[in-house]
Amino acid sequence: MPASAPLDILVLAVTPFMTEPRGIKQVQELRKHHNVTTAGIGPSPFPDLPHIEFSNPAAAESGLVSKLMNAGRHVFRMHRASLRANPLLSEAYAKLSSGSWDVIVSNDLLGVPIATRLKSRYGVVSDLHEYAPRQGENRFVWRTLIGPYFDWILRKEVAPKIAASTSVGQGIIDEYERVYGFRGDLAINATPWHDLEPLPVGDPIRLVHSGLPAPARKLEVMIDAVLATTSNVTLDLFLMQNNRAYLDELKARAGGDPRIVFRDPVPYAELVRTLHGYDVGLSLIAPTTFNLEWCLPNKFFDFVQARLGVIIGPSPEMVRYVEQYGFGAVTEDFTAEGLTRVLDSLTPELVAEWKSASHACAEELSGERQAVAWSRVVDRITA
């Protein structure tokens, strides 16, 4: 239930607001019942709402001296100094400090040290997304310099000062509670509702994957499985162009097999309707880091909105949904052999059942329905 009177809420991002899907979902949900102001780098996607715009500090921090000084502060664990020296945080505080709100929603970790210093009647809701202190743990420099900084922010700024928090998965919520002592709420990265019907299963069965070509995710497993399966399937890959070397490796691994096609990425606004033309979405993501082990990615819910069946690895967060709603299969492990065994068992009838199950739960698992989590949190802390 919404609060009896509209609240004044600030949704704060220390990133370009136009590129923050979760921040946009927060605004879309909270504005139904409350007066919302946005703040972030660059313009707002909501021209009818008040917006406080920050400049992009990238140019100011691009010099060698600036980078060395920043690295030095991290090396010597001068975390408070790192906060004070951050030009974006300084600008944000200067532009926001005269304001006063009932609730402040900080979209991601770095906004919390600003939000907790502003005037808010009921406190700060911190949307922590994934598990921040291990976000880049597969890279030595990140693990050495940034990980301890994020850990310090969580211990000094988040745990003792926030009113509530949200994260994308239950395993991540549990880990924040185990390590830092605060219990968050679940706000999954659900995809907006699309009014679609499942299409008939193709011949061959059309498999699809979309996302980033990140080596840590081991996308080659999907290619190897399609090359090995005896089933009549094809695989289309809609991959971003941000890692050309790995993308070239994947293309070489496919060896020009006509069943495997690399497609150009499509704008996110067109993605679900593009995926709708397929039968089964593949979401095998190797658990090479903590966040990948506990991932519940956008693409998983994109497949549901596209009314596809879904094949996943034994990732615990995705398994919860596949087992509850019955729209796909879980491989025994994250190997090509495990995926091949599932592909070998595919039949048009089975895939049609999966697509029907996706259709049955698509509204419940839509972004609009799941975004109510932020209204519930606000209602609880203001009760």
Residues 168 and 261 in one domain: no
* Model pLDDT for residues 334-381, shown as the tens digit of each residue: 999 999 999 999 999 999 999 999 999 999 999 999 999 999 999 999
User: Would 198 be classed as within a structural domain?
Assistant: no
Looking at the fold, whether 123 and 175 belong to one and the same domain comes out as yes
CA 383 to chain centre: 29
**For residues 180-206, average pLDDT:** 98
Q: In 3-state terms, what secondary structure has residue 41?
A: strand
Whether the per-residue pLDDT at 105 is higher than 80: the answer is yes
Class of residue 259 by CB neighbours under 10 A (exposed 0-12, middle 13-18, buried 19+)? middle
Task: Report the distance separating Cα 338 and Cα 313, nearest Å.
Answer: 9
138 lies in the same domain as 284: no
Within this chain, do residues 24 and 122 fall inside the same structural domain, yes or no? yes
Query: Taking all residues of the chain, what is their mean pLDDT, rounded to a whole number?
Result: 96
Number of domains in the chain: 2
Q: Assess if residue 197 is contained within a domain.
A: no
3-state secondary structure of 125: strand
Entry pTM: 0.94
Helices (H), 86-156: 87-96, 112-115, 140-141, 147-153
Q: Looking at residue 350, which CATH number applies to its domain?
A: 3.40.50.2000
Residue 230, pLDDT > 50, answer: yes
Q: How many CB atoms lie within 10 A of CB 171?
A: 20
Q: Quick one: which of 366, 360, 355, 310 has its CA closest to 198?
A: 355
pLDDT in tens, 282-312: 999 999 999 999 999 999 999 999 999 999 9
208/306 Cα distance (integer angstroms) = 11
Q: Are residues 47 and 77 located together in one domain of the fold?
A: yes
Give the strand pairing for 233-239 and 205-211.
parallel
Q: 382 is written with which tokens?
A: 């203001």
pLDDT at 67 > cutoff 90: no
- Percent of the chain at pLDDT above 90? 94
Is residue 3 very low, low, confident or very high in pLDDT (cuts 50, 70, 90)? very low
| Token digits of residue 225 | 């499985």
| Domain assignment of residue 172, yes or no | yes
For the stretch 125-170, pLDDT in tens is 999 999 999 999 999 999 999 999 999 999 999 999 999 999 999 9
* Co-location of 355 and 372 in the same domain: no
| Burial (0-12, 13-18, 19+ Cβ within 10 Å), 159 | middle
- Reported as a single tens digit per residue, the pLDDT across 201-228 is 999 999 999 999 999 999 999 999 999 9
Predicted pLDDT of residue 59: 54
Tell me which residue range forms the domain holding 103.
8-190+367-382
170 and 310 belong to one structural domain: no
